[in-house]
Every structure is written in C-alpha cells, then in structure tokens.
Amino acid sequence: MRSFCRSAPCARKSFRLGIVRAQGALLHVLLLACLVFASATHAQAIEPMPFANHAQEVRFQQLTAQLRCPMCQNETLADSNAPIARDLRNQIFQLMQHGQSDEQIKQYLVARYSDYVLYDPPLKLGTMLLWFGPLLILLGGAGVVLMAIRKRSRAGTTAGMPSDSTPTDNGDDW
C-alpha cells in the first residue's frame, strides 16, 4: 500500500516503515543465502549415483536416512560425509541393484554393525527399558501426584476442624 504524507509525523512513520521493509528484505536475502549454502553442503556430502529410475533414488534416500553412520554417530548415512558412510552408501546401492529389499539391506548392516545402525530400535529383551521406560516414569509421576492429592484432601478435612488449634501448618506449602 502506498500513501502520500503531508504532515511530519506521517513522514517519520513512513520512513520507519521503510526501514522495517529494508530489514525484511535483508532477512529474506539472508534466509535465501542460508538455504543455498545448506543445499550446497548437502550436495557435497552425497555424490551422484547412477540410479535406474527416480523411484529407486527416492527409496535409496529414504533408506539411508533411517540408518545411522557408525563412525560419526549422530549423523544418518544419508547426511554423513565420513569415508565409511560413503562406502556403506555404495554398498547399499550395490545391494539394491541386486534386488535386495530394504529389510534385507538392514539385516545385512545389522549383522556387521549391530542394532546400532538402526535409528528405530527393534523391540526385544535388551531394549525393553528403552521402549517402556518413559511409560514407567509416567506411571511413577502419576503415583506421586495421586499421593499428593490424597494427602492434600486429608489435610483439608482436618484443617477445618475446630479441635485443631495449631495454625502453623494448614497443609498449604506455598
């Protein structure tokens, strides 16, 4: 929207508006630069591979994004630039060309690098605590809350009694 100013305050306001607009533009440029550089480094990490078709490429990207690089620990095989990640990506590509399913490829890697390579850990005896630990903590928290509520309600009924003449603790800690 464009308006013409005839008064000083209005001119000042439109000047400030101009600054805000300039800042906005600068922000846009910065964000764009971030985006460009981010995609540039991403492209460096992943060398082009001779995929048979687009579907295979998508499948490859999805599979490698679910697998953890054993060397660089908090990166996926898709993101990592470590030599071992490159080798494993090549290996996965080769296995795909040989018609192996995602599950078979995962098994291949687990047999060599243990469950560690899976970002989604399987449910088994050793991972019970991992899967159900949060539930245990939630139940424990619920227990504490229940106990506190019971105590409060008991304290509340006794505090109202006239026989209890000590005013020091009405059960309200806060």
Partner 1 sequence: MSRLLPFFAFVLLVELFGFGIWWNTQHDPQAIPSPLLNKPAPAFVLPKLYEPTVTVSKSDLLGKPYLLNVFASWCVECGVEHPVLQAEAPTLGVLLVGYDYKDAPEDAKHWLAEHGNPYGVLIADQPGQTAIDFGVYGAPESFLIDGKGVIRYKHIGPMTEDVVTSELKPAIAALQKETP
Residues that bind partner 1 (CB under 8 A): 70-71, 73, 83-84, 87-88, 91, 110-114, 116, 151, 173
Residue 146 CB, nearest distance to partner 1 (Å)?
15
Residue 27 CB, nearest distance to partner 1 (Å)?
39
Between 28 and 87, CB nearer to partner 1: 87
Which residues are within 8 A (CB) of 61 and not within 5 positions of it... i.e. 6 or more apart? 78
Between 101 and 114, CB nearer to partner 1: 114
Residue 71 CB, nearest distance to partner 1 (Å)?
5
Amino acid, res. 88: L
Between 7 and 120, CB nearer to partner 1: 120
Between 51 and 113, CB nearer to partner 1: 113
- CB count within 10 Å of CB 134 equals 10
- For every residue of 42-96, DSSP letters joined together read HHHHS-----SSHHHHHHHHHHHHTBB-TTTSSSBTTT--SHHHHHHHHHHHHHH
Token pair 């139940």: residue: 139
- Separation of alpha carbons 67 and 106, rounded Å: 8
Residue 131 CB, nearest distance to partner 1 (Å)?
19
Fill in the DSSP letter of residue 119: S
- Separation of alpha carbons 87 and 83, rounded Å: 6
Between 45 and 82, CB nearer to partner 1: 82
Residue 150 CB, nearest distance to partner 1 (Å)?
13
Between 7 and 74, CB nearer to partner 1: 74
Helix, coil or strand: residue 5: coil
Residue 34 CB, nearest distance to partner 1 (Å)?
31
